[in-house]
């Protein structure tokens, strides 16, 4: 039987589904380019047509982030499973008039950024850590009201320190400090989420695989080699089937 999935996360989870059979899964809604801090804050008064971006997907992600659509959606979704990863927590979070906005590339290149950039300030590390935990606890309560813990799949995706180049050779990223800094942050988020939501499924593939220079999105510490996505789907199938 086909399983309905929602994703709160990033391409590291979404891209893996491209390796599945059409009869296995259907993706209901995909929420990306957002921090939990932003999603669980007062919405920004804006219309979808106000966001000037060429890509409908990019426009939708910015709109979801600004209008805080996820908390309303998740309480009524008909999905069988919710897949979560925190890769997009790498982005800065802005504060404006009591609301929070994820400073994604899509937001930066939209006209919305031009409208509010002079009124917004960037949150510091301490503010982010406190607000994120508060938002995560609210998310968990929302999920408990709609899902059994076994319907939640936490994908503990992290940045990779090495990659496979276009010649098939293993190389090391030079940005070791930046990768470690981001991994320490989001790994702490994964642990916090697990500790406060016992019984959920966890997929953790961080000991075996690399990033890939040939990834369709280009070279990045979180654009993985195909073997990673195949291993992820194997574990997803075991959980869902």
The string of DSSP codes covering the chain is -PEEEEEEE-HHHHGGGGGS-TTTEEEEEEEES--HHHHTSPPP---GGG---S-HHHHHHHHHHHHT-HHHHHTT---SEEEE--GGGGS-EEEETTEEEE--HHHHTSHHHHHHTTT-EE--HHHHHHHHHHHHHHHHHHHHTT--GGGEEEE-----SEEE-TTS-EEE-S-HHHHHHHHHHHHHHHHHHHHHSTT-EEE--TTT--EETTSTT-S-TTSB-HHHHHHHHHHHHHHH-
Around 177, how many Cα atoms within 13 Å sit in the side-chain half-sphere? 0
Band of residue 58 on the pLDDT scale cut at 50, 70, 90: very high
Of 41-45, 109-113, 140-144, 236-240, which range is least confident? 109-113
Residues of the chain with pLDDT > 90, as a percent, come to 87
How high is the pLDDT of residue 116?
Answer: 79
In angstroms, the first-to-last Cα distance of the chain is: 8
How high is the pLDDT of residue 131?
Answer: 97
Contact (Cβ atoms closer than 8 angstroms) between residue 83 and residue 58: no
**Cα radius of gyration (the chain):** 18
Does residue 208 carry a pLDDT above 90? no
**In this structure, which long-range contacts are made by residues 22-26, counting pairs with CB atoms below 8 Å and at least 24 apart in sequence?**
24/237, 25/240, 26/2
In sequence order, what are the beta bridge partners of 30?
7
Task: Tell me which residue has tokens 């219309």.
Answer: 47
For the chain, the average pLDDT equals: 95
CB under 8 Å to 214, separation ≥6 — which residues? 164, 166
Does residue 238 carry a pLDDT above 90? yes
Does residue 213 carry a pLDDT above 80? yes
pLDDT tens by residue, 120-164: 898 999 999 999 999 999 999 999 999 999 999 999 999 999 999
Band of residue 113 on the pLDDT scale cut at 50, 70, 90: confident
Does residue 43 carry a pLDDT above 90? yes
pLDDT tens by residue, 159-205: 999 999 999 999 999 999 999 999 999 999 999 999 999 999 999 99
Band of residue 75 on the pLDDT scale cut at 50, 70, 90: very high
Does residue 79 carry a pLDDT above 90? yes
The mean pLDDT of 97-115, rounded to a whole number, is 90
Does residue 73 carry a pLDDT above 80? yes
């Amino acid at each position: 039987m086909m399983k309905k999935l929602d994703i709160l996360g990033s391409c590291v989870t979404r891209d893996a589904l491209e390796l599945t059979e059409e009869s296995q899964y259907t993706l209901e809604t995909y929420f990306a380019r957002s921090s939990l801090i932003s999603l669980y804050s007062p919405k920004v008064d804006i219309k979808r047509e106000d966001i000037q971006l060429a890509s409908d997907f990019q426009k939708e992600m910015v709109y979801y982030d600004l209008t805080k659509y996820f908390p309303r959606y998740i309480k009524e979704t008909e999905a069988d499973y919710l897949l979560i990863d925190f890769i997009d927590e790498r982005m800065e979070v802005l504060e404006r008039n009591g609301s929070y906005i994820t400073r994604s590339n899509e937001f930066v290149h939209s006209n919305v950024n031009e409208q509010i950039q002079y009124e917004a300030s960037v949150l510091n590390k301490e503010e982010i850590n406190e607000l994120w935990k508060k938002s995560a606890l609210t998310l968990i309560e929302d999920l408990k009201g709609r899902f059994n813990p076994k319907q939640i799949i936490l994908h503990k995706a992290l940045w990779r320190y090495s990659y496979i180049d276009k010649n098939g050779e293993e190389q090391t990223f030079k940005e070791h400090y930046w990768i470690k800094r981001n991994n320490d942050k989001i790994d702490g988020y994964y642990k916090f989420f697990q500790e406060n939501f016992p019984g959920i499924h966890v997929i953790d593939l961080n000991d075996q695989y690399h990033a890939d220079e040939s990834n369709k999105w280009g070279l990045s510490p979180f654009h993985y080699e195909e073997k990673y996505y195949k291993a992820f789907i194997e574990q997803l199938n075991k959980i869902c089937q």
